[in-house]
Structure 1
Amino acid sequence: MYLQHTIPTNALRFLSIDAVEKANSGHPGMPMGMADVATVLFKYHLRFNPKNPDWINRDRFILSAGHGSMLLYAISYLVGYKDCSLTQIKKFRQLGSKTAGHPEYGLLKSIETTTGPLGQGLANGVGMAIAEKTLNAKFGNIINHKTWVVVGDGCLMEGISQEAISLAGHLNLSKLIVLYDNNKISIDGPTSLTCSDNQKQRFEASNWNTLTVDGHDFNSIEKGVSRSLKSNKPTLIICNTKIGFGSPNKSGKESSHGSPLGKTESILTKKELDWHHKDFFIPDKIKKKWRNLGDKGKKKRQNWVEKYAKTKIYKLLLREVSESKIHRNNLTTNFLENIVNQNIQEATRKSSQNVIEFLSENLVKNFIGGSADLTGSNLTKTKFSVAGKKKINYIHYGVREHLMAGAMNGIAVHGGFIPYGGTFLVFSDYCKNAIRLSAMMKKRVIYILTHDSIGLGEDGPTHQPIEHLAGLRAIPNLLVLRPCDAIETYEAWEIAINSINAPSAIILSRQNLPLLRRKVKINLSSNGGYVLNSNKKASITFIATGSEVSIAKETQELLKKNNIYSNLVSMPSIEIFNNKNKKYVERVLGKQPRIVIEAGSSYSWHKFIREDDMAYTIDSFGESGKGAELFKYYGFNAQKIALQIKKKYFK
């Protein structure tokens, strides 16, 4: 029989069992196995406050093993988060409920980040720990919380976990504590089918402290967690548990992982654990014990406020963590007019670096930038960037693109910073799952994706993006911005920073581009697409993005010599343009034949191309060669395009 003093823990187990049973869907095994660990953590160590859930110095609790979501929901209800009622528990996995199949950021205040794709929560935790360490270095112990991450065997099998473990150890994130649910079971069966890793040695090799506890012994768990708090390294606590703990016939088996226990087995489990209550019923005595934990958290926050509320550092901190936008001023005007006056012609990646430097000096004081070992290529670092020291605002992520994206999500949901990170556009595929979660969570994360086409040249088709623009544009709530020159690059950054509820991907060239914009008072890119130049006699309309806008402009000038006039539409963001009203769209695109020019997949353009229109795109892999030669080889050549237009429309 299970020890009597753990009856409050069984409240977690049976809320999870009952909710999964009612939904006829879900994962009961993990909550049953980790209930003891969670109880010790919330009872003795976790700093949280259900009455003020947004408290900036709360501990972060992340369920990276998101399939065990009922563990988090059960805790949320029991400790008194108002938005997680018993009604919501009963609506687990139902349409419109706040208790989704996997934890979704924004649905409940107790959910720190969206998890489910395994390993993402661990990467998010690294980002949150980076944010805490950076704020602590800047403001002192007014910020000194821990980041707790629950991972499972699946999380540690995912490649992103190794990237996260490696960087966390390197950065010495001592307030990051990972609780490993070592139940040795996956969907297919015992993990011995697929994995022989020694997780203890694996973490220690990356500069982690490691501890092992009995996940069903309160004293063992408590001692392990207490020891982790004294470490000057990130800590892994290996919690040896039984999946489906308490189930007479399914404990320790894969059958308890992703399916309801079944009515008969649920009854047997209640008997095994001395739980003599009807479904979803929690006796007042037990509920009170849990609610008292929430009250303790309330007192912790009150003490924190009383200590710091009247201090100058408190006001500075609140200003730092507010999600502010930027506004144009005389400095902005001078910066943009200087670009025009000097006729700046440069790669947009260089323009981006200049913008970051200008913003860092004048308008944005809370960037945390970085690059996945491509700082000199992405040009993401400026003279205001500080890396490797205590008061950092720049991270060398190494060749860890997926981790970089996941960590930026963690930094964003933590609050206090605007994260941006760079890699080549072609390697955005390594980041894709995390980018998708940025968009799902509606967080301001800025992806700097350079070397945006065959124009990068000699590195060849492995590094030349083709389908990537279309793939990124297909992600809901992601802004894809591909500027054509230095002015549009500033506008792209302005849009990205002011898009508080959406991530942005700024797509930048390796090669130098001419300056095409001369008017700088209004952010024209904020319309998504706009008429860059027009002619009253126009009989065709060019639509182009990025480096291809200059090709369209050159083609336009050639045709003009033959008395063929045209309008030129620059379209840095298809997503924004698609959300403009019909009248604006029709006015910009016109009724004339359209010629689309973009050195990427045609998939993005089918909405705009009609039967008699023309499109210059690429639907095959590139080649190795000089960028200018490749543009010509694939037909992105003003003379060739002009000739074909004349043949088609002006015979």
Structure 2
Amino acid sequence: MVHKIDTKSIHTIRVLAADTVRAGNSGHPGAPMGCAPMAHILFSRFITVNPKNHEWAAHIRSAEGFRLSMRKWPIVLAFFAQARRAPDMCMIFACSIPSDRYLITLPLHSTFKINRDRFVLSNGHGCALHYIMLHLMGYDLTLDDLKHFRHVDSKTPGHPENFHTKGIEVTTGPLGQGVGEAVGLAIAQAHFGATFNKPGYELFSNHTYFILGDGCMQEGVASEAASLAGHLQLGNLIALYDDNHISIDGDTALGFTEDVVKRFEAYGWHTQVLDDGDHDYEGLARAIENAKKVTDKPSLIKIRTTIGYGSLKQGEEVVHGSPLDPADIKQLKTKFGFDSEQHFFVPEEVRDFYAKRIVHGIKAEEQWNALFEAYAQEFPAEAKDIKRRLAGELPEGWQDTLPRYTPSDPAIATRKTSENALTKLAGAIPELLGGSADLTGSNLTRWKGAKDFQHSSTGLGDYSGRYFRYGVREHGMAAIMNGIAAYGGLIPYGATFLNFITYAWGGVRLSALSRLRVIYVMTHDSIGLGEDGPTHQPIETLALTRATPNLLTFRPADGNETSGAYIVAIENIQRPSVIALSRQNLPQLAGSSVEVVRKGAYILQDVADFKVIIVASGSEVSLAVDAAKLLPFPARVVSMPSAELFTEQSVEYRRSIFPSGIPSVSIEAMSTLGWERFSHYQIGMKGWGASGPIKGLMKKFGFVPDAVAQKVEKVVAHFENRPVPDLIWTF
């Protein structure tokens, strides 16, 4: 039965979408107008969140307190944020929503409201829809924020950003990324549930819903993620596919005519088709209900819609990426029963209707908190671990478990010292999850005794498992890890060869933009991998990672630096990390350190009256040490495991490493791009590598002690009668 309030609400969403995109004079009105029915039904009937307490676990008690109107919530939350220093204190208030009153006591410490449903808009260009839904649902996003759509410093940027707007779970925009992120969110919920749920205590039971469009369906990352989701039988994952047959170039008949439903059935998804997504509101509701009943498969609902519904140009590509004309917006409002001269108007009955969802969210949170309180009485150890994780605290003493090495220890590859570190970390940090893109035996990422994350019916593991078999899906792996990290309480890492991080790059870039702690374990990090040749040998790769804002790159030289890299990567809760590791064995170096990795670069070996500085990373640090021994003059050797961290140190520290007036030479068996910041001459790769055993390759390309020493001597000779320019970046 269609209710008038549903029609009124859906028309309100469509009109607001037109006004919002028009106000920004930029954006995509078509998808929000076409997706309005599915978004309304989803948010008003299914998604369970508390918009007034999105990330904070409120504790609801029957006690007297003072009343606070809904409009004062931002003030309360601001006070709440300031008061976190007093964890034993709490404040009590009640909110009045129509006639219902709820007394709420908020503990003044960070606790993640973990069991809320998650929503992802994968076709992020349609973000006006998401912002409108957040506004109607009662989040801290006003009509004024909608009026400033796509304006500088607004809460309504051109694509959704998780760190920017309350209620946005993950950053989307590059098409298909949201599919992988949604899969990651669903995996995280399944893992938490399998780890902590007990009979009668379904603490972790939320669903992940996402909307995607034809563009997402065409991107390979979506296929990678959907394929893995089907294999994993993620029954908590529900996709609403906006099948509007339009992309930027025009009708999808131009280049996208596959049977999507059959594809997803082949992936192992439960599928449904709704032929009239414009009007069949109850059909939408039934389809979502049916999807929720299927617990052993992810669900896809293909929903036929009309892009830009209500516009004079509905169904055409012109409504995809440009604001509607003012005259078109006027007729749209008149058609839907609105004042054509009124802008950004929400009828009172629509506001009242959505206010009930706030009540629903508060009640749901009350029930969850009561359940958790009872759970904590019966399972205190598990409850303590949940609280620790969700507060962002790591187990005490975890850093002390990491291995340390001395020069008397045998030479081993840093991929092996990484395995040693991960083995210790897996025992010390239970929220650490890891996997590989079908290279486990080469990446050495699976610790002894690890259990695989698999559906229990396969006999290969279960959802409590912490090791992931991503298959040959590098891009999907990165996007999925972003979702896992965004869920909260988990630290994901994933692995492949360093060269193939560029396959995953769309997801890696979003890790950095989204401020997510994701660890990329990248082995076979230079031409030193040998016989596989230039198709597998990274040359330009670290120049890319080092150029990316908010992304840490580590290239450890030995076991101590490997342990140090993991410490810093785990400590940086808002920065992803790339740890580049060698295939070939490397000696444990005299002077190396776990702790000093935090500085990014340090003096590994020093002598008095040094005439040159040799700086290197990774496998070339031991080469620098050996070359220094062949020089007829004293040389300082500097190890630089992380250029980014070094540039963040004080000027005094940077000058202590690279003092004025001393020439420096860098060595790295990859591109020299970027090393000009720290050296006057760069020894590196000027072109592609070659196929052959490592010793032959290193000799061919000059990465042997005598060749390096000869070049260093020439540099020192060059500056004998010339001033040595300052390295500006170090000053």
> TM bucket by the smaller chain?
over 0.9
1:131-184 Cα deviation digits (max 9, x unpaired): 111111111120011000100000000011110111000000011001000001
Compared CA separation, residues 567 and 246, structure 1 to 2 (3 A) = same
2:496 match: secondary structure: strand
CA deviation profile, 1:78-103 (whole Å, cap 9, x unmatched): 11112x11111111000000100000
Residue 409 of structure 2 is aligned to residue 343 of structure 1: yes
For residues 100 and 541 of structure 1, the distance between their equivalents in structure 2, rounded to whole angstroms, comes to: 46
Within 5 A, what are the aligned runs for 1:603-642?
603-609=673-679, 613-642=680-709
Contact 2:624/2:637 (<8 A) preserved: yes
Q: Does 1:223 align with 2:286?
A: yes
Aligned counterpart, 1:644: 711
Aligned-residue offset at 1:228 = 0.4
> Gaps spanning 5+ residues in structure 1: where?
none
In 2, Cα distance between equivalents of 1:272 and 1:4: 16
Deviation at 1:331, TM superposition (A): 4.5
Report if the CA contact (8 A) 1:422-1:448 is conserved. Answer: yes
Q: Does the alignment pair 1:353 with 2:419?
A: yes
Which of 167, 174, 182 lines up with 1:125 in the alignment?
Answer: 182
Asked if the contact 2:163–2:515 (Cα under 8 Å) also holds between the matched residues in 1, the reply is: no
Identity of aligned residues (%): 42
CA separation of 1:169/1:119 partners in 2, compared to 1, >3 Å: closer, same or farther? same
Are positions 1:245 and 2:302 aligned together? Answer: no
Distance change in 2, residues 1:85/1:115 (3 Å):
same
Give deviations 1:265-316, integer Å, cap 9, x for gaps. Answer: 0011112222236100112222111122122111111111112224224443
**1:336-415 map, 5 Å:** 336=404, 339-340=405-406, 342-361=408-427, 363-387=428-452, 388=454, 389-390=461-462, 391-415=464-488
For 1:489 and 1:614, the matched residues in 2 are separated by 27
Aligned pair in 2 of structure 1 residues 347, 15: CA closer, same or farther (>3 Å)?
same
Q: Which deviations, in whole Å up to 9, do the C-alpha atoms of 1:526-561 show, x marking residues without a partner? A: 1001101111121110000000001000001122xx
Matched, 1:255 2:313: no
Secondary structure of the structure 1 residue equivalent to 2:54: coil
8 Å CA contact 1:541–1:590 kept in 2: the answer is: no
The residue identity in structure 2 corresponding to 1:454 is: I
Aligned partner of 1:554 among 618, 626, 636: 626
Superposed counterparts of 1:205-604, under 5 Å: 205-213=266-274, 214-216=276-278, 217-231=280-294, 232-247=296-311, 249-276=312-339, 278-312=342-376, 313-325=382-394, 331-332=400-401, 335-336=403-404, 339-340=405-406, 342-361=408-427, 363-387=428-452, 388=454, 389-390=461-462, 391-518=464-591, 520=593, 523-559=595-631, 562=632, 564-591=633-660, 592-604=662-674
Question: How many correspondences in the alignment?
Answer: 637
C-alpha distance in structure 1 between counterparts of 2:430 and 2:23, whole Å = 49
Q: CA deviation at 1:326?
A: 6.5
Aligned partner of 2:196 in structure 1 is: 139
The answer to whether structure 1 residue 77 and structure 2 residue 135 are counterparts is yes
AA in 2 matched with 1:7: K
TM-score normalized with structure 2 length:
0.85
Instruction: Give the Cα–Cα distance (whole angstroms) in 1 for the partners of residues 175 and 400 of structure 2.
Output: 45
Q: Which amino acid aligns with 2:9?
A: P
Q: Which residue of 1 aligns with 2:67?
A: none
Question: What's the CA shift for 1:590?
Answer: 2.0
Amino acid at match of 1:256: V
Bigger Cα displacement from structure 2, 422-431 vs 294-303: 294-303
What is the DSSP-based 3-state SS (H/G/I as helix, E as strand, rest coil) of the residue aligned with 1:472?
helix
User: What TM-score results when the alignment is normalised by the length of structure 1?
Assistant: 0.95
State the 1:384 CA deviation: 3.8
**Residue 148 in structure 1 maps to residue 221 in structure 2:** no
Task: Name the aligned partner's letter for residue 108 of structure 1.
Answer: T
Structure 1 window deviating more from structure 2 (398-407 vs 11-20): it is 11-20
Determine the C-alpha separation between the residues in 2 that align with 1:314 and 1:640: 60
Q: Distance in 2 between matches of 1:225 and 1:315?
A: 35
Change (3 A) 1:364 1:399: same
**Separation in 1 of the partners of 2:286 and 2:242?**
17
Opposite residue 359 of structure 1, the aligned amino acid is L
CA offsets, 1:221-252, max 9 Å, x none?
011111001112100001111101111x2111
> Structure 2: which amino acid aligns with 1:471?
L
- Which amino acid is the alignment partner of residue 43 of structure 2? F
Instruction: Tell me by how many angstroms 1:118 deviates.
Output: 0.2
- Greater alpha carbon shift after TM alignment, 386-395 vs 172-181: 386-395
Q: 1:329 to 1:16 in 2, by over 3 A?
A: closer
The question of whether the paired residues in 2 share the 8 Å contact of 1:346 and 1:514 is answered with yes
Separation in 2 of the partners of 1:191 and 1:416?
40
The root-mean-square deviation of aligned C-alpha atoms, in Å, is 1.6
Q: CA distance change for structure 1 residues 188 and 439 in 2, over 3 Å: closer, same or farther?
A: same
- Describe the shift of the 1:645–1:203 C-alpha distance in structure 2 as closer, same or farther (beyond 3 A): same
Q: What CA distance in whole angstroms lies between the structure 2 residues aligned with 1:399 and 1:635? A: 34
State the partner residue of 1:29.
30
How far the C-alpha of 1:4 sits from its partner, in A, is 4.3
Deviation at 1:648, TM superposition (A): 4.3
CA distance in 2, matches of 1:330, 1:292: 47
Aligned to 1:162: 223
Partner of 2:249: 188
Query: C-alpha separation between the residues in 2 aligned to 1:582 and 1:207?
Result: 56
Kept in 1: contact 2:407–2:589 (CA 8 A): no
